[in-house]
Amino acid sequence: MRPATLRRILLIQTLEKADADSEILPATLRGDATREAARSLTRESGDAEKERFFAARAELLVDHLVAHFPFLRSVVPPSHRLRYLVPALLVIAILIGWFTQALGSEKLVNILSFPLLGILGWNFFIYLAETIGGLNRRRHAASSDGSDESSAGFLTRFAEGAESLPAQLGRDDSDPKVPAALRQGLSDFQRRWRRLTEPVVTLRLHGALHLAAALLAIAAVVGMYAKGAANEYRAYWESTFFTSESLQALLGFILGPASAISGIGIPDVTPLHRTADLPLVAGENAAQWIHLYAVTIGLFVVIPRLLLATWHSFQARRSQSAIDPRSLPGAGLYFDRLIAEALGTALITGAVPYCHQLSPTAEATLQRQLERQLGVPVKLDWRPIVKLGSETEAAAQLVTEPEKLPAHLVLCFDFAVTPEEETHGDFIRSTRKAFSEIDSETRLHVCLDAEGFDDARRNLADFADRRQQRLDAWRAVAGPLRDEITVFPALDPAS
């Protein structure tokens, strides 16, 4: 999925979650966008057709948002620093490599303090770090449950830049022109976007760093030959710790592969030894040493770094094509709900009765009422009855398998029972907290079975008033879910 398309889909998904009251995206507008985008969608449609549906729907809603909040125009397109960072990084690497003075000053080359030895040492350290890091990432991937939604790492933040909210959002939190849901939604969107794209950005940046290291080494070698072409450099060495024999063995180990490939023998270092007694040793022409170091750099720096850069680039493209906003914790429920709305298929809805067994008639009534309320066919998935005293444990049990949570979950209570904070309220709060802790997309509802209440009081003169009073009591106990209460069967206006 292309970044621009992915970004629009994720933006709309995040804003719809934050906009529970349909303040910035009216429910009718969402429905119209779903129907318009689903014109070519069928029940036999594959993933590609579904992705096009999500993209078309998101584009329609983004156009509406930009028309009403023009400052969002800067938020919609993907934006990061990589397109500028990578070329700058490569140019800097070439300049550093060229000006490393790899052959030393005064037309003398100390074969033991060659800057190229430092380049070799640094690269071997990087290879070791890459190996350890790869093992750690594999171990972390094996043990991670994918539920962590913390901010992206330093590399991603640096490469993308600190995406700040539009200036209009930073002026005044109480500005009525900018709804609170929009502020919250954009903040969540930035966090989720970084989380979703972090692997791709990290791979691309690592690839760029490997390419920069290869270019630095190439520039150092080219610079070395350019300087050597215009000047005669002499090779020598001096050391406090090395003897001629130990240094010959060390250089044989370092330069041996290059010597074997190029056919250039490793010169004897004894005549090149400068000591306090022999401070004016002239050494010998450094051409052979330059050739050996150049081949060594090619073998152990340039080729491995280019291979690593290619591998990271390939992995980045593969990761980019595999990005799916549905992989975020709980986000799949949102997309399942859209498909159900678009195709009119049954939407699995969880139902949890609390200390109450619904009659078959009540179950059927609840299903019909939810279908009218949600606008799609509903299939109720009934869970075991929650017993008195097990409210907290039952709420925790509901979220043990986050990937299997339904798009909607109904908490069913007996409307005839007087609601209590310590029992009914505790179960509602515990359930809401459990779902909030895993950042689930599941939408919670409180449904009240009024079948028994209505049968016992329908003939009373103040029946409607009593029903309203009981509903008010339930709303007081439901707390944040007070607006998600559904009483079934609905009260007949003629009553």
CATH of the domain at 481: 3.40.50
With a cut of 80, say whether residue 267 has pLDDT above it.
yes
- The answer on pLDDT for 413 being more than 90 is yes
In terms of Cα–Cα distance, which of 360, 358, 314 is closest to 449? 358
Q: Is the residue at 436 inside a domain?
A: yes
220 occurs within a structural domain: yes
Q: Over 60: is that where the pLDDT of 141 sits?
A: no
Task: Report pLDDT for 150.
Answer: 44
Residue 327 lies in a domain: no
Q: Are residues 34 and 157 in the same domain?
A: no
Q: How confident is the model at residue 432 (pLDDT cuts 50, 70, 90)?
A: very high
pLDDT range class, residue 472, cuts 50, 70, 90: very high
d(CA 116, CA 224) in angstroms, rounded, equals 10
Average pLDDT in the 350-377 region? Answer: 90
Which residues are paired to 108 by β-bridges? 234
Domains: count for the chain: 3
Under the banding of pLDDT at 50, 70 and 90, the label for residue 106 is low
Say yes or no: 208 and 287 in one domain. yes
Q: Is residue 265 part of a domain?
A: yes
Flag whether pLDDT at 144 surpasses 60. Answer: no
What confidence tier does 298 reach under pLDDT thresholds 50, 70, 90? very high
pLDDT level of residue 475 (50, 70, 90 thresholds): very high
Query: What confidence tier does 142 reach under pLDDT thresholds 50, 70, 90?
Result: very low
Q: Which of 76-90, 194-208, 279-293, 323-337 has the highest mean pLDDT?
A: 194-208
- pLDDT given at position 437: 86
Q: Are residues 258 and 273 located together in one domain of the fold?
A: yes
DSSP H or E run through 487: strand 485-488
Count of CA atoms in the C-beta half-sphere (13 A) of 357: 0
Residue 382 has pLDDT above 80, yes or no: yes
Q: Are residues 262 and 159 in the same domain?
A: yes
Report percent pLDDT > 70 for the chain.
85
Q: Do the Cβ atoms of 374 and 347 come closer than 8 Å?
A: yes
Kindly report, residue by residue over 46-56, the tens digit of the pLDDT. 888 888 999 99
Last residue of a domain, one of 77, 102, 125: 77
Mean pLDDT of the chain, nearest integer: 84
Are both 114 and 225 inside the same structural domain?
yes
* Type of residue numbered 360: P
Residue 307 lies in a domain: yes
- Domain co-membership, 293 together with 398: no
91, 23: one domain: no
Task: Kindly report the pTM of this predicted structure.
Answer: 0.67
25-39, 145-159, 275-289: which is most confident: 25-39
| Helices assigned H by DSSP within 41-161 | 47-68, 82-98, 115-143, 154-160
**pLDDT higher than 50, residue 263:** yes
Is the per-residue pLDDT at 309 higher than 90?
Answer: yes
More confident residue, 334 or 160: 334
Instruction: Please give the pLDDT value at position 307.
Output: 95
Q: Which of 26, 59, 77 is at the close of a domain?
A: 77
Predicted local distance difference test score (pLDDT) of residue 143? 46
Indicate whether 340 belongs to any domain.
no
With respect to residue 495, please indicate whether it lies within any of the assigned structural domains: no
Residue 337 lies in a domain: no
- 312 & 397 share domain: no
Together in a domain, 98 and 157 = yes
What pLDDT does residue 495 have? Answer: 45
What pLDDT shows up at residue 215? 95
- Does 173 lie in the same domain as 108? yes
- Domain span holding position 235: 82-179+192-322
The larger pLDDT score, comparing residue 238 to residue 213, is at 213
- Give the pLDDT score at 320: 84
Please tell me the distance from the alpha carbon of residue 374 to that of residue 387, in angstroms, as a whole number.
28
Cβ neighbourhood burial of 425 (10 Å; 0-12, 13-18, 19+)? middle
Domain check: are 157 and 200 in the same one? yes
201 and 243, same domain (yes or no): yes
The domain boundary, picked from 50, 77, 104, lies at 77
Digit-coded pLDDT (tens) for 173-206:
555 577 888 988 898 888 888 888 888 888 888 9
